[in-house]
Structure 1
């Protein structure tokens, strides 16, 4: 056996021996390179950074309700001694995630589509499973170990390409391991449901809700010729009839025995009555081809047919053919600047042509074109300490002139909110309604603020997508 191989074998053995710890769930030795104290510190720091970037829902009663459900699950988990925090993120995204050490987040966008406390517990239980099985720590340790393996291979063989190969292999291992972690988290979540009196079958119900969401958005995206991202987790690649998933749920049901199980439908619907649906006032409200933001005292108009995508950090819009786009971002000025000075500063060394100053009540603006093969329309508007920056252009097909009149129209529509627009700037909310004899989603969709997608979205909200109808006397979620 050659010297470098002996050295490499010894170093790899050292990594394995010093990087193992018993798994809190299985008791097996896992490859980890982080103590529990370090895990808690990492989770605390990550949660602090995250909550500086994401806003939490301001409804303290709802936050307390979610914390209470999560805490009951946590006390029945394999790591009851951690200081768990379950928080609702003020985002319309359908998502949930966990950070190491017990920091678990669910977006209000997902809450809107759940239909019982048991389904909420299933989501929280799944994320709790990631924490109790130390999945975040294990994945980070795997990544750290892969990097260290790359260095060791390079030292041991003198061939730098070997390090690249180990990175490729390590990435494949982590991705494969991720699917196993999702299944393990589902099994643990179902177990925690059984221990706390919820139906473990709620895990399958939630995956059905998420699968319906994914299918609906993929159908819409296909019709519009665009891609769509889905919720993370096992459901993304396995249907609800997946045999392994049903086996882990069945094992959890056996744990419940004769214990009474409940869904908590009434409690859950009461908790989310009044929940903001879609964009919040903090993010600004899209109404057809209009955008309104009360806190910024801002209104914008877009050409008919353009699609608006409102994100916390940027307001995007694109033309019906998805080739022209315009983005708006907000900045706070640290020192006084004119709109022209700000635009030139942001453009840097890029040449500006067709420069034009404009103004309106309380603000001044400056716009221009950055020429080239991928020409851009740019503009800056300054109102006190607020700076609004527009960047517009095209992809694929040009030239800029095909879309520029629309870009200039959007920039020129900048204005303070009119009194008649303030009511439209209020967010939509989930409201409860008892289904009457003869009610169907087609009739409920008439006059709905959800527009042409109202019928499909109401079915999704109530677990009846794609063709289900409400039963008389059933509590329904509608949007007003």
Structure 2
């Protein structure tokens, strides 16, 4: 027994020494971390360089500035603000997004094209920030290190080994529990930063409509995806987010409802966006209005962009009225816009 314990102790000491020498183990109280924060940043920076070399960057300063602004808005409300976050767009039509350790976050151009609005991107970026906040990739790398440290301590180059492990972990995808945790944080980050609280719902719904041969981090299969959407809906219910968006009974249109109050039915596509999606955009905009300290129902204004009438509340866009919307109601755009505004003025924004 004594010799067995001594051998086990020797093995543990050898393992810890190997980890310290090869990977820079940093004790961290009861939850000892193999990879320190600085080590995490170093790994992420190396992974980022590899991704940029492999795919290239889009090279659009305006897009990178926009993505960075969205990302930093959510970093400001996250639990890990002290990392050197970067937000870049890789020049690939793949529908994907990746979070390298240390806050190096990449969107693929295909995903940006699929989700052109700031609200949609906020949901995706907030999700990726969630992976960084919870150190999901780092924890998996640490598990792999514990299983392979003997080999790498003798034969491995520390930087190359860690970068390789990180890439393997990122490309392999996350566990269901990690994805759901990132979904929740995507909802929290985007909502707290002032984006549409339905951002995660909208993004997951849009991803679910794609062909399933795509391999993307956010949404890997239909059954699991439906469960994740249901969980987001549960968070919205718990937080009393209102108004709500829902399909009509015949599923041919969508409505925005708040108790017994509802807006006229949305029945047509706009820029390829479904009626339900448009209803979520409107419901989210009205939720933002409900959070304002001051509210005046007479502040709804109409703008005309040369083709469509846009209903705004101050600088918050509520709904776009298209010629097709008016045709579906057998009326003109101005009359239909007036009908929507009249219903908006009847809305009790504090009703729960």
Q: Which structure features the higher share of helix residues?
A: 2
Cross-structure match for 2:140 = 139
Residue deviations 1:14-73, cap 9 Å, x none?
Answer: 759x77648xxxxxx656311101111222222223323322122211211111111101
Q: 3-state SS of the aligned residue for 2:106?
A: strand
Secondary structure in structure 2 of the residue aligned to 1:214: coil
Residues 260 and 86 of structure 1, relative CA distance in 2, 3 Å threshold? farther
Query: Structure 1 stretches (4+) deviating beyond 6 angstroms?
Result: 149-152, 257-261, 438-441
**Match for residue 210 of structure 1 among 207, 222, 225:** 207
Distance in 1 (alpha carbons) for counterparts of 2:134 and 2:117: 26
User: Are the aligned partners of 1:73 and 1:196 in contact in 2 as well (CA < 8 Å)?
Assistant: yes
TM-score (norm 1): 0.42
Contact 1:183–1:245 (CA under 8 A) maintained in structure 2: no
**2:60 corresponds to 1:59:** yes
Q: Does residue 182 of the first structure (1) align with residue 182 of the second (2)?
A: no
The Cα of 1:181 is off from its aligned counterpart by: 1.3
Tell me, which stretches of 5 or more residues in structure 1 are unaligned? 23-28, 153-170, 216-227, 262-437, 442-457, 476-480
Alignment check: 8 A CA contact 2:56 2:90 kept: yes
Equivalenced residues, count = 238
User: Per-residue deviation at 1:193?
Assistant: 1.4
Q: What's the TM-score once normalised by structure 2's chain length?
A: 0.55
More strand by share: 1
User: Does the C-alpha gap of structure 1 residues 100 and 190 become closer, same or farther in structure 2, counting only changes over 3 Å?
Assistant: same
Cα 1:151–1:38 change in 2 (3 A) is closer
1:80-99 correspondence to structure 2 within 5 Å? 80-99=81-100
The CA distance in 2 between the partners of 1:250 and 1:20, in whole Å, is 38
Cα deviation 1:376-419 (Å, max 9, x = unaligned): xxxxxxxxxxxxxxxxxxxxxxxxxxxxxxxxxxxxxxxxxxxx
Aligned to 1:230: 215
- The alpha-carbon distance between structure 1 residues 37 and 125, as it changes in their structure 2 partners (threshold 3 A), is same
Aligned residues of 2:208 and 2:222 also touching (Cα < 8 A): no
Shift, 1:82, TM fit: 1.6
SS of equivalent residue, structure 2 residue 98: strand
Is this contact kept in 2: 1:74–1:80, CA < 8 A? Answer: yes
- Judged with a 3 Å threshold, the aligned counterparts in structure 2 of structure 1 residues 135 and 249 are, in CA distance, closer, same or farther, namely farther
1:219-246: per-residue Cα shift (whole Å, max 9, x none)?
xxxxxxxxx342123543644441x654
Shift of 1:75: 0.9
Give me the whole-angstrom Cα distance separating, in 1, the residues matched to 2:89 and 2:31. 31
Q: Take 1:235 and 1:248, find their aligned partners in 2: how far apart are those partners?
A: 16
Q: 1:439 to 1:176 in 2, by over 3 A?
A: closer
**Within 2, Cα distance between the matches of 1:176 and 1:439?**
37
Q: Are the aligned partners of 1:191 and 1:252 in contact in 2 as well (CA < 8 Å)?
A: no
Q: CA RMSD in A?
A: 4.3
User: Looking at CA atoms only, which structure, 1 or 2, has the larger radius of gyration?
Assistant: 1
Aligned to 1:80, what secondary structure does the other structure show? coil
| Structure 1 residues 195 and 211, CA gap change in structure 2 (3 angstroms) | same
Note the residue ranges of structure 2 that are not aligned, 5 or more in a row.
20-24, 154-167, 245-266, 277-319, 326-352
Task: After TM superposition, list the pairs within 5 Å mapping 1:460-479 onto structure 2.
Answer: 462-463=273-274, 472-473=322-323
Tell me, in whole angstroms, the C-alpha distance in 1 between the residues paired with 2:130 and 2:188: 9
Once residues 439 and 189 of structure 1 are traced to their aligned partners in structure 2, the CA distance between those partners, rounded to angstroms, is 29
Tell me, yes or no, if the aligned pair for 1:31 and 1:138 is still in contact at 8 Å: no
